[in-house]
Amino acid sequence: MSPWRSVVTVEELNALSAGTLGERLGMRFTEIGVDYLRGTMIVDGNLQPFGLLHGGASVALAETLGSMAGWLCVDRERYACVGQEINANHLRPVRVGAVTGTARPVYLGGRSQVWSIEIVDDRSRLTCVSRLTLAVVPASPRKSGAAH
């Protein structure tokens, strides 16, 4: 059974990400499955000084995927999802190409959600596993003319 409360396209998700950190890091949503959200991030430009994909970039990808997936699971007129805790285990270095993350729900409650995010390299080797906890909070009304 799908956790999604509404139907959106990856094109709509990518449009929502314009001007965000995800766009700066080269992230793109690529697939919305029955129970997962998938996206990619380029490695080039996201390296640490030793030539490896920066762990913070992997965490940013994990949080982006999990947060957007959480947002798709709530009544967006009434609720928002905000990051409460994230952890990551970096398992394999990545130097080139792109990585792909897949977010799947572990727990979808009325006040919190837990997401598991697995990130793989271009050869489908697991590079990072992450767990994200989101708080489900009342949505704030948007102010007229406010930046999105």
DSSP 121-142: -TT--EEEEEEEEEEEEEPPPP
Task: Give dist(CA 28, CA 73) in Å, integer.
Answer: 20
Task: Give dist(CA 119, CA 103) in Å, integer.
Answer: 9
- The token pair at 8 is 């959106």
Query: Which residue type occupies 117?
Result: I
Beta bridge partners of 129: 89, 118
Task: Give dist(CA 10, CA 80) in Å, integer.
Answer: 19
Active site residues: 63
